[in-house]
């Protein structure tokens, strides 16, 4: 008995390109990375540049100023990618900012700038360690733990100096953490560039980075594969608090003073930049490059809206719209999935 042969379907001529490889759509060529977000950043910059052609918006000095002003946000966003990737959330890193700044400002006059910075970072790391131990050791959700820590730190920032602004005068500290420059690049731009490269290497090309992804993707499977998921989560939360502390040092260096409310609005800005950049809140997947582009996008938009003279409510409305557009442009996978569904429903794809 012979098998009944069924006629084979004719090959799709589109799959037989001269190179022997099937043609790919534009989205397939772009991939799932941050390239769509880069396109959005360039497009928005060009549009704002045309609208603000009578200003110095597109001047190199203003563009570098945008990076400088965004540096503290960027530092915190890099660490936030680590935390979210491993399946946790940190709401307290922005509250570390004024505490670290105050600790450094109060320590420097007697012990010097290096000791002031070291003590501030040590206090910041201690906050992250407490967050990690409570989250991992007691099994309390990190959202709840860091929400409580945020309240404690906010009260501490107000209590340390009774809401009085503390002036920073050490010239070496100011030069290193915000006021100095090497050629046309401010120290803030250098901090942002160096930390971005280090974070990308750590996230994409080390065992720690792979453990972050595995822990956030499936904690149980990661644990059975030998990954110490508890240690990974604690480390990520410590890095997040350290980033908040470093951001506080950068703010203190740039502003040459510390207030209890410095960084008060940074939490939502950082989370928005990270989500725009492609980091999934469910954990297991993220992008350092995407977070960097997300921070720069928000920085460009904020700078442009200020130069346009928009009121605060108008700025917030435009920022919300830009965030939605950026997320849509960066959601390549969702577009492809929607396209496939529509093709099947309409009968144009079997």
Separation CA 76–CA 155 (nearest Å): 21
Closest CA to 292 of 44, 73, 91: 73
How buried is 238 (Cβ within 10 angstroms: 0-12 exposed, 13-18 middle, 19+ buried)? buried
Determine the structural domain holding residue 242 and report its residue range.
30-346
Separation CA 153–CA 74 (nearest Å): 21
pLDDT digits (tens, 9 = 90+) for 231-278: 999 999 999 999 999 999 999 999 999 998 898 888 888 988 998 888
Contact 188, 64 (CB under 8 A): no
- In a domain, residue 15? The reply is no
- In a domain, residue 71? The reply is yes
- In a domain, residue 3? The reply is no
Number of domains in the chain: 1
Output the average pLDDT for the chain.
Answer: 84
- In a domain, residue 1? The reply is no
Report the CATH number that the domain containing residue 306 is assigned in CATH: 1.10.3470
What is the pLDDT, as a whole number, of residue 264?
Answer: 82
Residue 156 neighbours by CB under 8 Å, 6+ apart: 99
- In a domain, residue 340? The reply is yes
pLDDT digits (tens, 9 = 90+) for 173-226: 999 998 888 888 899 999 999 999 999 999 999 999 999 999 999 888 999 999
Indicate the SS3 state at residue 3.
Answer: coil
Closest CA to 81 of 266, 278, 242, 221: 278
- In a domain, residue 13? The reply is no
- In a domain, residue 4? The reply is no
- In a domain, residue 180? The reply is yes
1: pLDDT strictly greater than 80: no
């Amino acid at each position: 008995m012979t098998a009944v042969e069924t006629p084979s379907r004719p090959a799709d001529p589109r799959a037989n390109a001269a190179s022997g490889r099937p043609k790919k759509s534009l989205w397939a060529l772009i991939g799932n990375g941050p390239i769509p977000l880069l396109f959005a950043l360039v497009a928005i910059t060009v549009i704002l540049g045309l609208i603000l052609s009578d200003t110095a918006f597109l001047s190199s000095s203003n563009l570098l100023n945008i990076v400088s002003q965004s540096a503290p946000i960027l530092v915190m966003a890099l660490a936030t990618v680590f935390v979210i990737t491993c399946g946790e959330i940190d709401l307290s890193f922005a509250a570390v900012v004024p505490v670290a700044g105050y600790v450094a400002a109060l320590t420097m006059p007697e012990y010097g700038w290096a000791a002031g910075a070291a003590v501030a970072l040590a206090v910041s790391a201690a906050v992250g360690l407490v967050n990690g131990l409570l989250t991992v050791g007691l099994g309390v959700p990190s959202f709840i733990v860091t929400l409580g820590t945020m309240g404690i730190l906010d009260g501490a920032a107000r209590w340390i100096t009774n809401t009085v602004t503390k002036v920073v005068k050490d010239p070496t500290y100011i030069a290193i953490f915000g006021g100095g420059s090497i050629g046309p690049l401010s120290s803030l731009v250098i901090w942002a560039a160096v930390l971005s490269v280090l974070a990308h290497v750590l996230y994409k090309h080390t065992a720690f980075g792979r453990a972050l992804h595995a822990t956030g993707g499936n904690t149980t499977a990661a644990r059975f594969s030998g990954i110490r998921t508890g240690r990974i989560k604690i480390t990520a939360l410590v890095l997040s608090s350290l980033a908040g502390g470093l951001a506080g040092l950068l703010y203190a260096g740039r502003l040459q003073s510390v207030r209890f409310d410095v960084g008060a609005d940074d939490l939502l800005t950082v989370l928005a930049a990270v989500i725009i950049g492609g980091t999934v809140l469910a954990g297991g997947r993220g992008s350092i490059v995407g977070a960097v582009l997300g921070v720069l996008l928000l920085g460009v938009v904020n700078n442009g809206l200020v130069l346009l003279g928009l009121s605060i409510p108008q700025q917030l409305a435009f920022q919300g719209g830009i965030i939605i557009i950026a997320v849509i442009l960066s959601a390549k996978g969702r577009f492809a999935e929607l396209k496939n569904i529509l093709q099947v429903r309409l009968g144009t794809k079997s």
